[in-house]
Amino acid sequence: MSIVLPPSAYPRSAYPPDVVPARVRHRLLELAEGPEPVSAYVYDGEVAAGRARELREALPEWAAVHYAVKANSFPGVVRALAPYVDGFEVASRAELELALAALRERDREDVPVVAAGPAKSVPVLTALVRAGVEAINAESALELHRISRIAVAEGTTARVALRVNPAGIPVTGSLRMGGEPSQFGVPEPDVPAVLAEALRLPGVEVTGFHIHAASNNLDADSQAAYLRWCVEWSARTARAAGFALRHVDVGGGIGVAFEELAGEKPFDVARFGELAARVEPPPGVKVVLEPGRFLVADCGWYAAEVTDVKHSYGSAFAVLRGGINHFQLPTSWDLVHNVAVLPVDRWPEGLPRPEAAGARVTVVGELCTPEDTLLRDVRVDRVRAGDLVVFPYAGSYGWEFAMHSFLGHPVAERHLL
């Protein structure tokens, strides 16, 4: 079995320190003055809020933006987004409580929450029914029956959207969850039978469909074509099944250019909004988008102190206080996630201070496995023990996606500017 490492960064160079915004640099250098080696996320809620405003303002009135809490569940980030999104998407009771708390702070009496997940437990479904969420995205016939049984016992009716795994999708992306065999949703050929069953259940009100088929799409034209396809498919299918369509959830999928700083072209929000406005949903139908990564990726930075710089058989390694136990994204996504080196002047007197200068360096973590590699072969002007290595675009699937318990090291801190 071969070890999977991030792709080589060669011939890229590390970003200059001023790529990290001044207020973030200031906060990180403050942390470096403390007694513990730095391993921390710093979030800027204003950046996330700005991204949400940008998307919301580009879209037509019939579209609703529900933040996918799984991307970053730090309470300060969720609260920062709450005034600028129409609601939330959740996948657990913990995420539901975060969303409800943020909505209460905004004095919202409705519950604009949609719920996803391929294996919702009875406790999760019960919490969703009791909260009266906008839609539970039902994944199977069995889940529909569970929802109905819970709702009847609670003396209510639960609104559901049937999650569909379409046979084909007009969209690209690095992570596909539709158009192929999957644990997600009901295969398209089975939809008529499952819908007929759902419409007979006493505790369920079918309002529409959920079709989240791909993620991290950077092409605005194909994302708009996908939205159009979802709306048109949902309208046809609802008519054939004989129920009033009110809800179409197209999932997330809007991508992030992780190497935008090096020239990668970002998603064109204005173009997407222009094309989306040409779609005409049936009257009274809300079209829900569930962006997560797109709203928060660039609001966060992960920084870790270099505990040592080692030279081994002609290669240089910057060893961090932290690694895939704190920031697993580069290994799990098979991407070059470049860094900036933030110099730290403080160093204990009398200790040697190893460094690498004008060299290609591999950035590794503190775990007892060679898989704990975050960045390979990036050229640095200089990196020393005690400096900080900073990863931009760490606001999504960073802290939440890490292997916190492996080896038992302290988890990374989280700070909101």
Which residues are CB-contacts of 158 (< 8 A; sequence separation ≥ 6)?
128, 129, 136, 147, 148, 150, 151, 203, 204, 205
Q: Are residues 263 and 160 in the same domain?
A: yes
Q: Are residues 122 and 248 in the same domain?
A: yes
Q: Residue 334 is part of a domain; what is its CATH number?
A: 2.40.37.10
Here the tokens at position 213 are 């088929």
Among the listed residues 317, 290, 293, the one whose alpha carbon sits nearest the alpha carbon of residue 306? 317
For residue 354, the model assigns a pLDDT of 98
Domain final position from 280, 297, 314: 297
pLDDT value at residue 171: 57
Pairing of strands 63-68, 39-43: unpaired
Q: Are 241 and 281 in contact (CB under 8 A)?
A: no
- How confident is the model at residue 168, as a pLDDT? 75
pLDDT above 90 covers a percentage of the chain that reads 86
Question: Tell me, what's the pLDDT at 163?
Answer: 97
pLDDT at 209: 98
Residue 1, pLDDT score: 56
pLDDT at residue 298, as a whole number: 96
From 264, 297, 330, the end of a domain falls on: 297
Confidence of residue 266 (pLDDT cuts 50, 70, 90): very high
Same domain for 183 and 287, yes or no, is: yes
**114 and 244 co-located in one domain:** yes
Domain shared by 34 and 145, yes or no = no
What's the pTM value of the predicted model, to 2 decimals?
Answer: 0.94
**Which positions ≥6 away from 352 have C-beta within 8 Å?**
none
Give the CATH number of the domain where residue 191 resides.
3.20.20.10
Point out the least confidently predicted range of 2-11, 64-73, 193-202, 347-356: 2-11
Q: Give tens-digit pLDDT for 365-392.
A: 999 999 999 999 999 999 999 999 999 9
Query: What local confidence, expressed as pLDDT, does residue 109 receive?
Result: 77
Return the active site residues. 368
Residue 406 is predicted with a pLDDT of 86
Same domain, 89 and 171: yes
Mean pLDDT of the chain: 94
> Residue 11 falls within a domain, yes or no?
no
Question: 226-242 in b/e burial notation, b at 16+ Cβ within 10 A?
Answer: bbbbbbebbbebbeebe
The verdict on residue 7 lying in a domain is no
Report the number of distinct structural domains present in the chain: 2
Q: Which residue, 270, 297, 324, sits at the end of a domain? A: 297
| pLDDT per residue as tens digits for the range 332-369 | 888 899 999 999 999 999 999 999 999 999 999 999 99
Q: What pLDDT is attached to residue 170?
A: 63
Question: What is the structure's pLDDT at 173?
Answer: 46
| pLDDT surpasses 80 at 169 | no
The answer to whether residues 216 and 302 belong to one domain is no
Q: Determine, yes or no, domain membership for 56.
A: yes
Q: What is the pLDDT of residue 330?
A: 87
Is residue 161 assigned to a domain? yes
Q: What is the mean pLDDT of residues 382-409?
A: 94
Residue 259 has pLDDT above 90, yes or no: no
What pLDDT is recorded for position 20? 97
The verdict on 34 and 159 lying in the same domain is no
Q: Which of 16-20, 79-83, 176-180, 182-186 has the lowest mean pLDDT?
A: 176-180
pLDDT digits (tens, 9 = 90+) for 24-46: 999 999 999 999 999 999 999 99
pLDDT score of 177 more than 60: no
Q: Taking 50 as the threshold, does the pLDDT of residue 144 lie above it?
A: yes
My answer on whether 70 and 206 are in the same domain is: yes
- Please tell me the total number of residues recorded for the chain in this structure: 417
Q: What is the pLDDT of residue 211?
A: 95
Is residue 213 scored above 80 in pLDDT?
no
Inside any domain, residue 9: no
Q: Report whether pLDDT(142) > 80.
A: yes
Q: Does some domain include residue 94? A: yes
Is 8 among the domain residues? Answer: no
CA 245 to chain centre: 28
What Rg value do the Cα atoms of the chain yield, rounded?
A: 23
Task: Work out the average pLDDT over 7-20.
Answer: 96
12 lies in some domain: no
Mean pLDDT of 310-338: 93
Q: Evaluate if residue 174 carries a pLDDT over 70.
A: no
Q: What is the DSSP letter of 84?
A: G
- Residue for token digits 């992030």? 256
Same domain, 261 and 307: no
Domain with 384 in it: 17-43+298-416
Do 186 and 302 lie in one domain? The reply is: no
Whether residue 179 has pLDDT greater than 70: no
pLDDT band, residue 175 (cuts 50/70/90): very low
List the structure tokens of 411: 């988890």
Query: 92-106, 157-171, 188-202 — which is least confidently predicted?
Result: 157-171
| Same-domain status, 206 and 280 | yes
